Structure 1
Amino acid sequence: MRRQLMAAVAVTMAGLLALTACGDNGSGGTQGPQADPKKKVEVFSWWTGPGEADGLKAMREIFQKRNAGLEFFDAAVAGGSGDKARALLTTKLQAQTPPDTFQGHAGAELQGYIKSGQLEPLNFLYDELKLKDAFPQQLVDQISVRGQIYSVPVNVHRSNVMWFNPAVLKEAGVTEVPTTIPDFVAALEKVRQKGRIPLSIGSEWTMVHLLESVLLGSLGTDAYNKLWTAGSDWSGPAMTKALNDFKTILSYAGDPADDWQPAAKQVADGQAAFNIMGDWAYGYFHNPPDGGLGKTSKTDFDWAPSPGTAGTFMWLSDSFTLPKGAPNRDGAVAWLKVAASKEGQDAFNPKKGSIPARKDADTALYTDYLADALKDWGSDDLAGSIQHGVVVNDPWRVSINEAVGVFHGDKDVAAFQTALAEAAKNSGQ
């Protein structure tokens, strides 16, 4: 089995390296970038899908307008949540061939790069642009280590969102949106009896995304947040109950789709009732058909906090970094200035389905779901995402992903709990 896994990893990495070698050069072709590397700015991300790619394009246009002498090179690698992108990025950094700037989730995800000395601190940029005044303090704290700040957050996302199709719920006789895990399970059962998919899921990382919402809803905010502190209890009865809740909910899931977009589309098209996914799904549901599904909110799709989590905002933030040895350091700094700017964030976030990291953004641009998110971000309790790098470093996240993958096959709660407890013990965090 291990040999098969290592072979699969080797094939994946070979494919990713081939993908990068024939990436988009910014002109729509398939050739690699031909410009003088002193002028090219390689921006590495995983924003390739509808909504996210549109948001990146909007920021790119601002960058090009401000920096006529620089060539933007989009080095995005496809794959929801960035797992494939981070695998390739590790290879590039180890080979000392970093991109000029790369996307990373604010929080613990950046710790590995910082400890390895692979990032430059950005205090100089924060001082120049007065970014400590522009960003919420909790964000600045998450991207700082011993007083040094290592990334520029471009947005805030909410992870714990339950998307649902009102017509499918009505057909199943679900008259109230479930707010607790028992109510959710009852609603899933009613949908199953009508022959629809109760819960759509995607690839393995979307199951980890589901797990974090179930843990938050079952344990409660305080107990969930204590999981990431010294002496956390992963072996107790409260965790056992939470994992059994996860097992029950997962039993109502349909066949895994390739990624989060086709899983979300099952809800929008009325094939499935529910999907637990971050609020980037809003951009995908809502944006016009050339960049999304063009669906109507409150009719084709609706939303609520994932069951048991009302009053808590499970958050994550996309940010950009400055790698040490960046081939075009000045170009990377120019990109970071756009990512940090009010203009850049207001162009990016409405299309991405996220709210701005800045406190002074134009609130008139954030309507419908995004207005709800802005309000809740300012008033709710906070909890950090597992899958999206806020509370766990990359090795710990990988261990959790592996445990979830095994559990999806064997449904053994005791073994799953042991694996999670061991991952926490070995996290070094």
Structure 2
Amino acid sequence: MPSKTVLFFEHPGDSCNDMRTRCAAALFTTRASAAHPSPRGFPRNAHSCLVFLLERSNNEPVRSRTFWGVRSIMERIVVAFAGLALSLSLCAPPSVAGEVEVLHFWTSPGEAKSLAELKALIAVRGHTWKDFAVVGGAGGNAMTALKQRVMAGHSPSSASIKGPAVQEWASMGALAKLDSMAQFEHWDKVLPEVVQEHVKHKGSYVAVPVNIHRANWLWSNLDVLRKAGVQAPPSSFDQFLVAAEKARSAGFVAVAHGGQPWQDFILFESVALGVAGADLYRRAFVQLEPAALSASEMRRSLQAFRQLKPYVDDKSRGRDWNAATDMVIQGKAAFQFMGDWAKGEFIAAGRKPGTHFSCTPAWDSGNAFTYVVDTFAMFQLRNWEAQKAQGYLAYVLLGTEFQQKFNQRKGSIPVRMDIPLDGFDDCAKASRKDFDDSAKVHALLPSVAVGMAPGTTTQAALQAVVSEFWNNDALTVDEAIGRLVRAAAVK
């Protein structure tokens, strides 16, 4: 059996009559050419008629030209009327709308408000959102739940997964191809190359990126710093130790931290980036070179990492990241090392950057950018109505309206580089500038702590070693180095 190509007509702006006319005309005037994969004269703005060919790879992938390759006028007429009939179904009452079930782990207050923007846009089209939320920082619990569902043959419409996990699911044939939508919406032009690498599998789009987070941020409560006699957020390791000591002496928790393996590693990778630099970070944590993992700079990174432990309170073990962020928000702690999803919590609590808190790169790491890209993978579905809702979800996620609203709440920056940051705060503008600057000097680096590299099994092994080193003072630096080298070999 050949692979099935599903045709979607979605039109969030015009009337149903306009939609039918435009879609039928677009189909009728289509050119069958690899150089012209979209209809001649097809309206391309965000409120125009979207013709979405969602390619589903059961045996062999179907390319756009398989559908558009109509050679005779009669074939074009038949195709046009088929498209017209499909567009009529979208103008029917909401009873024909589909359900989109989305697995995610965005359960903190700031994340919940961000997700509400997506739910509202899905509801506008009449589709039903089914929440599949799994509590657990960095998504470990969510991934376990996802595997159970897919193995049982009950895949959700979409799931928030990222980094190598996208490739792993795609290699199993579980994900739908999104190439036709990507062509119509010009994803190759608006998405950074480093992002495309994470959402493509063998050259085909299989997931939709929604943002770019920076992981190597240091968040500071400005009122706590003033009370502790700290003039400005520290920009070097030595300055940080002085500031942390002042904060602790003034009765505050110096570093708000959650003692979970991924949080231990996000602190460590920020320290290592500042101590060892971008090149060694890449060689050690992305390329997994034994020589880089055992270099003297890595030893100094572990030593500096351990020096921070006295500034963390004794109740940190097991604490969720957003609970640690709340300690800074409420003025109980001075600092937190965390990605800019933490800013979403500050914003949700009514705090403003520059007034209540500051965002600065973790010391000595301002010339590099550890990134996290939240993505939604689209799983293979059988039900047509569910496919239609899934297609609209994919369309909305990279739409300008969602990109602006969502990222202002989430704390991240839009993944589309053609969206201006008017209305975004200074932290976001600094993030975009640093992203662009880091790209020019090859210093965009995937966060190991939050699942962007390397493979998922190796990630877990590396994080386990760092977490053990943090929690076990008897483990020496030399022993930790040896374990890191062995962990990097775990596949």
Report the TM-score when normalising by structure 1.
0.84
1:418 aligns with 2:475: no
* Corresponding residue of 2:89: none
1:345 aligns with 2:403: yes
1:217 aligns with 2:278: no
Give the fraction of aligned pairs with identical amino acids, expressed as a percent.
29
Alpha-carbon distance, 1:164 to partner:
0.7
1:398 aligns with 2:398: no
Q: Which amino acid aligns with 1:305?
A: P
* Corresponding residue of 2:72: none
User: Compared with structure 1, are the counterparts of its residues 390 and 305 closer, same or farther at alpha carbon in structure 2 (3 Å cutoff)?
Assistant: same
* Corresponding residue of 1:278: 339
Q: Deviations over 1:199-231 (max 9, x none)?
A: 011140222211111111111011111121263
Q: Which has the larger radius of gyration?
A: 2
Equivalent residues of 2:461, 2:490 under 8 A apart: no
Alpha-carbon distance, 1:370 to partner:
1.6
Question: How many residues were matched structurally?
Answer: 385
Alpha-carbon distance, 1:186 to partner:
2.5
**Equivalent residue of 2:109, what SS?**
coil
1:259 aligns with 2:323: no
Select between 345-354 and 392-401 the one with higher mean Cα deviation: 392-401
1:100 aligns with 2:161: no
* Corresponding residue of 1:48: 107
**Equivalent residue of 1:375, what SS?**
helix
Q: Deviations over 1:117-143 (max 9, x none)?
A: 322332222112221112122211232
* Corresponding residue of 1:382: 444
Equivalent residues of 2:217, 2:337 under 8 A apart: yes
Distance in 1 (alpha carbons) for counterparts of 2:367 and 2:201: 29
Q: Deviations over 1:278-318 (max 9, x none)?
A: 111112112xxxxx211233232112101110121211110
Alpha-carbon distance, 1:37 to partner:
11
Give the aligned CA root-mean-square deviation in angstroms: 2.1
Alpha-carbon distance, 1:245 to partner:
1.0
Alpha-carbon distance, 1:358 to partner:
0.8
Structure 2 gap segments, 5+ residues each: 1-93
Which one of 416, 422, 430 corresponds to residue 364 of structure 1?
422
Distance in 1 (alpha carbons) for counterparts of 2:487 and 2:361: 28
Equivalent residues of 1:100, 1:326 under 8 A apart: no
* Corresponding residue of 1:59: 118
Select between 110-119 and 70-79 the one with higher mean Cα deviation: 110-119
User: Compared with structure 1, are the counterparts of its residues 343 and 296 closer, same or farther at alpha carbon in structure 2 (3 Å cutoff)?
Assistant: closer
User: Compared with structure 1, are the counterparts of its residues 230 and 422 closer, same or farther at alpha carbon in structure 2 (3 Å cutoff)?
Assistant: closer
Distance in 2 (alpha carbons) for counterparts of 1:269 and 1:365: 26
* Corresponding residue of 2:82: none
Distance in 1 (alpha carbons) for counterparts of 2:481 and 2:171: 29
1:238 aligns with 2:297: yes
* Corresponding residue of 2:469: 407
Distance in 1 (alpha carbons) for counterparts of 2:253 and 2:323: 13
Correspondence 1:9-24 to 2 at 5 A: none
**Equivalent residue of 1:390, what SS?**
coil
Distance in 2 (alpha carbons) for counterparts of 1:237 and 1:124: 49
Distance in 2 (alpha carbons) for counterparts of 1:112 and 1:343: 31
Alpha-carbon distance, 1:144 to partner:
2.3
Distance in 2 (alpha carbons) for counterparts of 1:404 and 1:223: 17
**Equivalent residue of 2:378, what SS?**
coil
Answer 1 or 2: higher relative contact order, Cα 8 Å, separation at least 6.
1
Q: Deviations over 1:154-184 (max 9, x none)?
A: 1111111100112222333323422122322
**Equivalent residue of 1:92, what SS?**
helix
* Corresponding residue of 2:45: none
Q: Deviations over 1:21-62 (max 9, x none)?
A: xxxxxxxxxxxxxx9998221011111212211111112111
1:183 aligns with 2:221: no
Q: Which amino acid aligns with 1:350?
A: Q
User: Compared with structure 1, are the counterparts of its residues 60 and 241 closer, same or farther at alpha carbon in structure 2 (3 Å cutoff)?
Assistant: same
Distance in 1 (alpha carbons) for counterparts of 2:238 and 2:130: 49
Alpha-carbon distance, 1:190 to partner:
2.4
Equivalent residues of 2:324, 2:336 under 8 A apart: yes
User: Compared with structure 1, are the counterparts of its residues 275 and 86 closer, same or farther at alpha carbon in structure 2 (3 Å cutoff)?
Assistant: same
Distance in 1 (alpha carbons) for counterparts of 2:167 and 2:307: 34
Equivalent residues of 1:215, 1:242 under 8 A apart: yes
Equivalent residues of 2:199, 2:375 under 8 A apart: no
Q: Which amino acid aligns with 1:42?
A: E
Select between 38-47 and 352-361 the one with higher mean Cα deviation: 38-47
Which one of 187, 198, 203 corresponds to residue 147 of structure 1?
203
Distance in 2 (alpha carbons) for counterparts of 1:48 and 1:212: 25
Report the TM-score when normalising by structure 2.
0.74
Equivalent residues of 1:167, 1:300 under 8 A apart: yes
Alpha-carbon distance, 1:356 to partner:
0.5
Distance in 2 (alpha carbons) for counterparts of 1:159 and 1:326: 37
Q: Which amino acid aligns with 2:485?
A: A
User: Compared with structure 1, are the counterparts of its residues 77 and 185 closer, same or farther at alpha carbon in structure 2 (3 Å cutoff)?
Assistant: same
Distance in 1 (alpha carbons) for counterparts of 2:266 and 2:453: 13
Equivalent residues of 2:353, 2:425 under 8 A apart: no
Equivalent residues of 1:121, 1:148 under 8 A apart: yes
Alpha-carbon distance, 1:98 to partner:
1.1
Distance in 2 (alpha carbons) for counterparts of 1:160 and 1:226: 18
Distance in 2 (alpha carbons) for counterparts of 1:363 and 1:271: 32
**Equivalent residue of 2:307, what SS?**
helix
Structure 1 gap segments, 5+ residues each: 1-34, 287-291
Which one of 330, 341, 344 corresponds to residue 269 of structure 1?
330
**Equivalent residue of 1:96, what SS?**
coil
1:332 aligns with 2:396: no
Equivalent residues of 1:99, 1:326 under 8 A apart: no
Distance in 2 (alpha carbons) for counterparts of 1:36 and 1:220: 56
Correspondence 1:106-145 to 2 at 5 A: 107-145=163-201
Q: Deviations over 1:41-100 (max 9, x none)?
A: 1011111212211111112111221x22x2111112122221211121122122222111
Equivalent residues of 2:98, 2:387 under 8 A apart: no
